[in-house]
Amino acid sequence: MKRYTQCSLLPYNTFGIDQKCEELVVYENAADAVALAAEIRAAGPASPLLILGGGSNLLLTRDLEGRVVTAEKRFEVSARETPGDDRSVELRCWAGTCFDEVVAYAVEQGYHGLENLSLIPGECGASAVQNIGAYGVEAKDFITEIEAVSLATGEVVRIPASECRYGYRQSRFKQEWRDQYLILYVTYRLSREFRPHLDYGNIRKVLEEKQIPVGQLTAKQLREAIIEIREAKLPNPEEIGNAGSFFMNPMVDRATLERLKERFPDIRYFEVGEPGVGQGSAALSQDTIRYKIPAGWMIDQCGWKGRSLGRAGVYEKQALVLVNCGGATGAEIVRLMKQIQADVFARFGLEIHPEVNIR
């Protein structure tokens, strides 16, 4: 276990905000996490705690008291056969493993399903908390189990994905289980058969431009196409501080969508089901169908794309991304966020909420 006092968190957040913490603790294995859990229990509930992943979904607005805890950054992935299923394989991944490195490894080994999640920043542990997603695919589609240390008991527990109540960028780890577990490993079940998901965003258009027939598409080519799409519209955090998509896309029912379409005939939307509804072959009813309205489109319609408010701005190529234009504080990013939220509500009557963890 590694410890650092009065530690700058600048290297630990992709927004490039230079705030400090009293103590940063890095756990390297299960024994470390068990010992750390005992320390946290002894300190009591009044002692501040932040469990940190790769910092790619974090906005710091102040120096942090107490402990900041994170898993060691290392690549640790082991493949194992899925009992009773020779068409799939399970990857057990250390929490501090870079998620995109897992996607690259899976594609190389012929394990399929994660291709659409290529280049999403962050670590495997955070994927189980945030239920990361992109281009019609979410982490919950593949997570089978999370191994973690309970801070309340110090025990190593195995939590089935079915108990995590995964939804759009949500899980129990973000709700009632917040700061209650130190995640050790996340297991993903992948397919040995390549069945690409191509009907979200402009994936098919990019493939056509690259002259790749869908029937001849490989997993490696799909990953490359996804990376090309993301790089074209999302800034590199090493060059421009950001946390990727800052806002969640709001969900509306059919009646709300129809009202919006009357006022905005060119409104964009995607049909989705409610979390946990419509799994398997059962058809979605009109009562469970929801429609996702792209927050980036609404922000663009409000004229924010490419604009800034002081040292905080909206990325010129993707209105869903807030950026640190240079030396911005977390408070400046929050001020921009609130102004955008107010403008979107005034124009569309919809509230948009950050998916970024603001501390």
What residues are labeled active site? 169, 245, 355
39: buried, middle or exposed (CB in 10 Å: 19+, 13-18, 0-12)?
middle
**How distant is the alpha carbon of residue 205 from its chain centre?**
25
Residue 298 · residue 252 · CB < 8 Å: no
Question: Residue 133 to residues 43, 275, 326: CA-CA distances in angstroms?
Answer: 36, 14, 28
Per-residue tokens: 262:
């009357």
- In the three-class reduction of DSSP (H, G, I as helix; E, B as strand; rest coil), residue 350 is classed as coil
The number of residues making up the chain comes to 359
Per-residue tokens: 218:
């490989």
Residue written as tokens 């899925």? 82
Q: Phi and psi dihedrals of 264, rounded to 5? A: -130, 85
- In the three-class reduction of DSSP (H, G, I as helix; E, B as strand; rest coil), residue 138 is classed as strand
Q: Phi and psi dihedrals of 89, rounded to 5? A: -145, 150
**How distant is the alpha carbon of residue 315 from its chain centre?**
19
H or E element: which one contains 207? Answer: helix 203-209
Q: Phi and psi dihedrals of 331, rounded to 5? A: -65, -35
Residue 112 · residue 190 · CB < 8 Å: yes
Residue written as tokens 């968190």? 9
Which sign, positive or negative, has the C-alpha torsion 324, 326, 327, 332?
negative
Residue 296 · residue 234 · CB < 8 Å: no
Q: Phi and psi dihedrals of 82, rounded to 5? A: -85, 120
